[in-house]
């Protein structure tokens, strides 16, 4: 499980960074998306990996925290997803504006 998850995060991050360094704006935005997926999975894994454990504890009585998943990283991931979704959407608008104004999709606004 650890191996699969770390491999997935690694591949996502590596492809994301590769695309981020490419000269076309669309590649940059896809790269940013992949990177943010990798980061979200990474945050999730920082709460330790558990199988089939709920994150919400019942009210009252004794609860054994070991049989529950850490809820905090899940909340953090949720916030991070929403924020990166919004900023990526904004970036998309700027990308289209840039394409319209310069007539090229190169990140510097002109063909090299």
Contacts to another protein by CB under 8 A: 20, 25, 28, 32, 35-36, 39, 42-43, 46-47, 72-73, 76, 79-80, 83-84, 86-88, 90-91, 94-95, 97-98, 101-102, 107-109
Least distance between another protein and beta carbon 54 (Å) = 19
Q: How far out from the chain centre does Cα 83 lie?
A: 10
Question: What secondary structure does DSSP assign to 63-94, as a single string?
Answer: --GGGS--HHHHHHHHHHHHHHHHHHHHHHHH
Residue 38, token pair as written in the block: 């990798």
Taking the least distance from each CB to another protein, the nearer of 67 and 85 is: 85
């Amino acid at each position: 499980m650890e191996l699969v998850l770390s491999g997935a995060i690694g591949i996502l991050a590596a492809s994301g960074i590769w695309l981020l360094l490419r000269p076309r704006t669309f590649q940059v935005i896809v790269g940013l998306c992949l990177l943010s997926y990798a980061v979200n999975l990474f945050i999730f894994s920082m709460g330790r990996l558990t199988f089939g454990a709920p994150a919400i504890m019942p009210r009252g009585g004794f609860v054994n925290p070991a049989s529950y998943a850490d809820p905090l990283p899940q909340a953090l991931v949720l916030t991070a997803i929403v924020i990166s979704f919004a900023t990526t959407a904004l970036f998309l608008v700027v990308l289209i504006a840039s394409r319209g104004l310069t007539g090229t999709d190169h990140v510097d606004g002109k063909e090299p």
